[in-house]
Structures are given as structure tokens and as C-alpha cells.
Structure 1
């Protein structure tokens, strides 16, 4: 025979279990809009039965655990794609800003300024002795040098900005690693006492998701020697041969980057003093855009800078070579204009190694506009005339030699920018798909939770009615038995 109070105990267990389930449902509803929250479920199991006359009599229900409804595989897939998204976002952002600096095709871009420069020489060829036409050529030359300087200065400033961004991202990585390490310690102390710190797990997963966009991460759970889960994790960075950024509750190993003019991917990036090679993530995209030493990957800003500097040098050399083959003007002692062999370059480098129009051509006291060599040698006479504009025409024809190089730079930049944008869009779509799948499992559905709330409420009410019924039975036994005739 069972205990007299068996029914009361059974009802009490039912009340406790349904109340726990109701509280869990309420917790889910309260966190429906909490970023990174994983919905929980009260796992109920019947308590051990009593054996009475070869019959197994049930004893009620207990809540064994509060389970986080989360799929680890989707977490891994999300973080793998998230690091790619961070990388391509960084590359696409850098290439987009470079395109903004070059500003092609517009009336303010270098291509248009160069076109105006060549047109100025063409007009000068028609009126080689016109000071107005010469002034236009000189001013167009100044515009070309200023545009080259603007592009160079802007790219260098962008590189300095990237240097600051890289430093900020390194601090962000180390901050996230520190928080993950501290959470490991809190989780470990609770798990050791058989608690389930589900909300702390959620907080840690959010931090890992954020970290995965910055650097490539690999997450491994930590078990005891007897294969018991400690609740802690290890986080390594740097591909298959990476180093531990987080190891349980130990202080996180700091990520360090030696930022110089260019970064050596093999030696300048370290975790805890050990060199690593980043495989993906926003930080790698920023580093490649800033500039790297060696390797097969083109470093964006230094590469474009070299291309622009090479173009400026070739442009200067080509114009100067043809210019010095021509004849300029000079006033003789009688104040008459004569044609003389040109000795001066049209472009030169200043003290800051910047391309400028020859100061002699700028300054009237040193010759000014007269020094522009518009005339070419006539026959083999080693002389020319003021009406000769053939050298100006030859300089204008340099356009076909120099212009193609700049168009190739713009075309290559456009292709790389489109490719980065395409890869960003693709990885973003994949990340969103994985996140949607993850939310379908882990996210809170208010409709589902409301249905559960009603279900648990009804079960709670029924358990309470059970306790009331058993109380009435016991009241009859205790207060009514032994009183015959009543």
C-alpha cells in the first residue's frame, strides 16, 4: 500500500514541474528581442515508480534540465561564413574609397585633366606664338600636377586611417578575448556545481560571433581527464596552425600586430608572442588594404600608389623628352622674339619629390611662357620659326602612349572592386541563410510560446486540482474516520 500522502506528493511535483516550465516560457517571451538569446525548454521526466504488489505505481514528474535549443553545426557554419564576410567587406570598402579618390569617370578625375592637357598642346600647335595658348598649356600642366598630388596625398591619408583602424580592431579582438575568458571562469564555477548557466552560454556565443567577423576562429570545448564537460572553451586564431587566443579561464593571450609601412603576414602578427598567419576576417582585409610584404596577395593602397607614381614618372619623362627636342621663344636685346633650342624640362620634381611644372616656366623673370617649346626643327637646319607648332603637336600625340596605362589602372581597379562586392554580396547572402536557419531553431516564436504557456497553465491548474482532491480525501480520513453514524 502506498503512503497516505502519496497523492499530495505527486501533485506537488506536478505543480513544481509545470511552474518551472511556465517560468521558462516567460523567460523566453521576455527575451524574444534579445540579441543572441537561445530559447530554452524544460525537459520533464517521470520520477522513479514505486513497486507495489508487482505493479509499478507512478510518482509524478521532475524537470531534469533546462535545455538550450541550439545547433552547434550551424554555429560553426555561421562563423566560417562570417569571417569571409568581414574580409570581403573590408576589401570592398577599401577599393570603393580608392575609386572615390580617383573619381573616374568625371570631369574632376585625372583622365579628364590629362585630356585637357593634351588639348591645350593641340591648340598651341595651331597658334604657337600665342601667349594665351601658352598660358592655357601651363595652367593645364599645373592642374595635372595638382591632381597627381591630390591622389597621392589622399591614398597616403587613407593608409594612415587604415593604420588607426587596424590598431582599433586589434584592441577589439583583445577585449572580446578577455570577456570570453572571464565568462569561461564564471561558467566553469557554475557547471562544477551542476548548474546550467544558459544565459552565460548565450552571452559567450554572441562574443564569439562578433570575434568571428574580425578574425578566423576555431572553437573547441574543454573536457576534464574523465571526459566531463567543463563548460569552458578554447578559441584559436590563425587557421589550422593557429595559436590559442583563449584557453579556458586563463588570461587571454594578446593579439599583437607590428604596424610599419607594410606588414609581414608571416612575422608581424602574433598571439602571445607566437607568429600566426590570419586566414580570413575583417582584420586581414584591412591589413591587405593597408599593405603587406611579399606573398601572392596584392596590397591595395601601395599597389595603386606605385601605379600612380610610375604613371607620373613616365608621363613626366615622355613630355620632357619631347619638350627638350623642340624650340622655345626668347627675346633678344632688341626686344624681338626669336626661336631658340629648348633646354628646359616642362615638368620637374620639387624638394618633396612631388611633380610640378618647371618653376622657370611659372616665373616670368626666368622666361615664363616663352620657355614652352612649341616649335620643332625644320628640316636639318637646326632651327625653327615662330609659326612652327609641330613640337606641340608631337607632345599632344603622347596621349596615346600614356593614356592607355591610366585606363588600365582604372579598369583593373574596377574589376577588383566588382569582384570584392560580388563576393561580399554572396557571403552576406549565405550568412543570412545560415542565421535564418539558426533562428528557426534557437529563436523565440511568440506564437509557439503563447501556446506553450496555455498548455503549462492548464497542466498547472490540473495539478492544483489534484492536490485539492487529495486534500479532501485526507480530510475525510483524518477528520471523518472513527465517527460512526456521521
Structure 2
């Protein structure tokens, strides 16, 4: 069989071209070493079809190699590490969101720094006023102090209830902003971009040209979404993916966004809702639902604060009920309604505020008697204080648990991200080694071409003589 003299030249040329492609790719890796979401790329080299010069196509045939082909450039993506990182991202974002909000909740109580304006301090001042009144039952100034500090205490509980409500509104606003069905909503922007990237990747796949940059961009979008809620990714034959988000099946299906999603778990008046429970949603949105949603952490704390207000009013009023002054209830409040209602409504009886002289001091007709004042002062350390102490302990426990969980989840996320980076990221030491190897391959193939050129020149000079 005749073999062209230029076969060696073509073989060497394929080596030069392949080495050049590798050098270009390595240079691109180095340039993007610090680019967020960039995955290390490698050239896929395949042997070109050999030339059979004797025999048939069996294993015993005599064949000549014809060179190498740079058949493509592949990203160093690892789907298992991607899935692990995104699962952990949801857990870490959820933990960090809970840590942030429970820390804010704890700071609302103001009990960590021995704050004189804290409710525990106001309770002690209030009991002390009753003790002073018991020592001077007919002293107008002592009665006024009971009224004034009773109002301060009630207003402190009112303010705490209001602050908890404001914190709930803050979380609801964050949820609504993230899930808003309009440009600017983080979920909306991400899933819209994801659908667009799916469309471009499908076109690239169909056209047979590279889509590595598009794949990197899509992975970055999915990573961002994984911090908002749990994600599940399903690959399609055309190169696109389907994305389930927070339990919403196929929120993105190829190049289509199935928006808005409907479900049963929501928060506030804005944004879409999720099926299932807050724990199944995961991520930042799951934490917001768990913290500020119906029956969530804030509702439970508000309910416990209602218990403090109710216990305070009940304990004091049960003693003042026997008063002969004409006023039998020191505190007023509204029970029932949404969590926080009782705490927000607690107040000193308006009649007493207008007439401090009618503060209940005794259940007798003796002007100098002090039995009610003594009994109220002895509530110090009793049921109202214990109810509030339990509230402080609850909130402190929530904040500590959230902090510990955030620390643990962040450490685990760092570990997984490091593993992912070691596989998918750019290793500068490896790239430098690749440069040396690729340059040597380029030079070797070029020398073959140079040798062939010299040989052909010599041959032509001989033939021409």
C-alpha cells in the first residue's frame, strides 16, 4: 500500500496543534484561577484513526499512527461533590440565618449586660416600690412610685412585644423580597437566568460547539439558589437541567420557569409559597419560615411573653381584688388573639393612673393597714419573675443552640468546599507543571516538522541535480 511521504508531517502537525490547544487551555486556567465559579479545564486528547498498510483490520494488521486530535475541552466538574456542597450550602445558610435572627431576639431582651432597663430589673423595682408602700401605706409619694414603675414595667413588656413583632416583620420582608415574582427578587432572577442558560447550552450541545463557560455560569446560579433553599438537579439529554427548589418540583424545567409555584407554607403577604414544612424547604427561606412563620419561633416566644404578662397581671390582681379602695385590679390586659396580644396590651389600670391615692394597699378599713402591699411585695422571686426567667432562658437557649449549629455547619461547609475546590478548582502548581509538559510536547512535534522539512529539502536538492 502506498503511504504518502507527507504522513509524518501531518502527524507532527497534529501534535503541534494539540499541544497549542493544551497551552491555550492552561493559560486560560491560570487567568481564571481567582474567577468565582470557574472550573479547571482540560483538553481531551484522542488518537486519530491509524492507517492500515498491510493485512486487514484485525489485530494482526500492520498499522501506522496518524497523530492526535484535541477532541474537546472538559470541565473538572464532580457531580457528587456538587451535590454535597449544595446540600451543605442549604444547611449552612439556614443555620446562619437562624443564628442572626436569634441573636437579634436575644438582644431585644437586654438581659446580657445587666441593663437597668431590662424587664427583670423593672420587676425588682416594682416589687421594691410595693415594699416601700407597705412601710408607708398612706404616703402619696410611695403610691405614685408604684403607679409610675408599674407603668414602666408594663410599657417595657409592651415594647418587647412590639420589638418582637417588628423582628417578625423584618423576617417576613426579607422572605418576600427574596421570593418576589418580579425582577429584583433573588429567586426570580436566578431561575430566569438558569432557564436562559439552559436554552443556550441546549443550542451549544446541538451545534456541537463548546459550552464550558455556560456550564460554569449555570453551576454558579444553582450554587446561589442552594443557599436559599434545598435544590435537586436532574440532567436532561439535551444538556439542560431541571431544578426542584425547596420541595417545588421542576421550578425550572429546561428553558421554562414554572412560576409562580403554589403550596401551603408561606410567610407574609409577598412571594410564593412552598409545599411541605419549613424544615423541608431548607436554606435561608426555610429558616425564615421556621423563625417567623405561623407557629414558628417568634410566635412561640410571643406566646411565652403573653404568659409573663398574664401571670404578672393575674398574680397582682388576685391580691388587689380584695381592696377596699374601690379599685380591685391593678393591671389590665387583653387576652386571646394573635401571639403577643396580651403582652402588647398590658397596662396599669387607668383609674389608678388618674387617682394614685386609690392604689390598693389593704383589704381592711384600717387607714394604716398594709396587708395587700406586703403580699404584693412578697411576689418578688415568685411566679411572674419565674415566668420571665423561663422566657429569658428559652431565648438564650435558642441563641446558643443556633450559634453552635452555625459554627458546626460552617466548618462542614468549608471542608466540603475545600474538597470541591481541590477537584474542580485551578491548582497553580499543577498548571505550571502542565505548561512545562505541554511546551515540551509542542517543541518535540515542531522538531519533527523541522526535521521533515530538512529531509525534504535535501531530497529535493538531490533530485534536482
Same fold (TM over 0.5): yes
RMSD across aligned C-alpha pairs, in angstroms? 2.2
Q: Which residue of 1 aligns with 2:291?
A: 289
**Contact 1:88/1:420 (<8 A) preserved:** yes
Pick the aligned partner of 2:121 from 108, 112, 132.
112
Count of residues in correspondence between the two structures: 438
Unaligned runs of 5+ in 1: 224-229, 293-297, 328-340, 378-382
Q: Which residue of 2 aligns with 1:420?
A: 402
Q: Which residue of 2 aligns with 1:159?
A: 168
Q: CA deviation at 1:276?
A: 5.3
Mapped to 2, the partners of 1:186 and 1:236 lie a distance apart of 20
Matches within 5 A, 1:458-473: 458-473=440-455
Q: CA deviation at 1:421?
A: 2.1
Q: CA deviation at 1:452?
A: 0.9
**Structure of larger gyration radius:** 1
**Contact 2:138/2:367 (<8 A) preserved:** no
Q: Which residue of 2 aligns with 1:444?
A: 426
What TM-score, normalized to structure 2? 0.88
Q: Which residue of 2 aligns with 1:380?
A: none
Mapped to 1, the partners of 2:149 and 2:439 lie a distance apart of 83
**Contact 1:36/1:206 (<8 A) preserved:** yes
Matches within 5 A, 1:471-486: 471-483=453-465
Pick the aligned partner of 2:331 from 347, 356, 379.
347
What TM-score, normalized to structure 1? 0.85
Spell out, residue by residue over 1:351-410, the C-alpha distance to the aligned partner (whole angstroms, 9 max, x if none): x972222233323xxxx3211122343xxxxx2232x22211101122302111111112
Moved over 4 A (4+): 256-263, 275-278
**Contact 1:96/1:417 (<8 A) preserved:** yes
Pick the aligned partner of 1:393 from 347, 355, 374.
374
Q: Which residue of 2 aligns with 1:101?
A: 108
CA gap of 1:443–1:113, structure 2 versus 1, over 3 A, is same
The answer on 1:302 being equivalent to 2:271 is no
Secondary structure at the residue paired with 1:56? strand
Report which stretch shifted further, 24-33 or 63-72. 63-72
Q: Which residue of 1 aligns with 2:273?
A: 269
Mapped to 1, the partners of 2:362 and 2:440 lie a distance apart of 103
Unaligned runs of 5+ in 2: 55-60, 180-184, 335-340
CA gap of 1:260–1:211, structure 2 versus 1, over 3 A, is closer
Q: CA deviation at 1:235?
A: 0.6
Secondary structure at the residue paired with 1:36? coil
Secondary structure at the residue paired with 1:269? coil
Spell out, residue by residue over 1:187-245, the C-alpha distance to the aligned partner (whole angstroms, 9 max, x if none): 0000112223111111111111111111111101012xxxxxx1111111344xx4210
Mapped to 1, the partners of 2:313 and 2:263 lie a distance apart of 38
Report which stretch shifted further, 432-441 or 463-472. 463-472
Matches within 5 A, 1:126-137: 126-137=135-146
The answer on 1:76 being equivalent to 2:58 is no
**Contact 1:269/1:276 (<8 A) preserved:** no
Secondary structure at the residue paired with 2:256? coil
Identify, as 1 or 2, the structure richer in strand.
1
Q: Which residue of 1 aligns with 2:338?
A: none
Mapped to 2, the partners of 1:69 and 1:257 lie a distance apart of 37
Mapped to 1, the partners of 2:463 and 2:26 lie a distance apart of 44
Pick the aligned partner of 1:373 from 360, 363, 369.
360
**Contact 1:238/1:277 (<8 A) preserved:** no
Mapped to 1, the partners of 2:86 and 2:314 lie a distance apart of 52
Mapped to 2, the partners of 1:373 and 1:470 lie a distance apart of 115
Pick the aligned partner of 2:308 from 302, 311, 327.
311
